[in-house]
Amino acid sequence: MGNIITLSFFYLIGIVILLGFNELNYRRFKIKGEITRKFAHFASIIAVIPMPYMIESHWYVLGLALIFFAGLYFTQQTKQLKSIHDIKRKSVGSYLLPLSIYITFLASSYLENKFIYILPMLILAICDPMAAILGMNIKKYNNQVVLFGRKYQKTWLGTGAFVSMSFVISLIAIYYYRGVFDIKTFWLSAIIAIIGAMSELFSWRGSDNLSIPVSIACILLIFL
Residues 175/168, Cβ–Cβ less than 8 Å: no
Q: What is the DSSP letter of 144?
A: E
Q: What is the pLDDT of residues 93-147, one digit of tens each?
A: 888 999 999 999 999 999 999 999 999 999 999 998 888 777 666 666 566 666 6
Structure confidence at residue 138 (pLDDT): 66
Burial of 18 (0-12, 13-18, 19+ CB in 10 A): middle
DSSP E strands, 122-209: 144-147, 150-155
Most confident of 1-10, 36-45, 151-160: 36-45
Residues 194/163, Cβ–Cβ less than 8 Å: yes
Q: Which range of residues forms the domain containing residue 205?
A: 2-223
Structure confidence at residue 147 (pLDDT): 66
Q: Is the pLDDT of residue 219 over 80?
A: yes
Which residues are 151's β-sheet partners? 146
Number of domains comprising the chain = 1
This prediction has a pTM of 0.89
Q: What is the pLDDT of residues 46-56, one digit of tens each?
A: 999 999 998 88
Q: What angle (nearest 5°) sits at the alpha carbon of residue 15, between those of residues 13 and 17?
A: 70
Residues 155/135, Cβ–Cβ less than 8 Å: yes
Most confident of 25-39, 163-177, 197-211: 163-177
pLDDT band at residue 37 under the 50/70/90 scheme = confident
In 10 A of CB 16, how many CB atoms? 13
Burial of 140 (0-12, 13-18, 19+ CB in 10 A): exposed
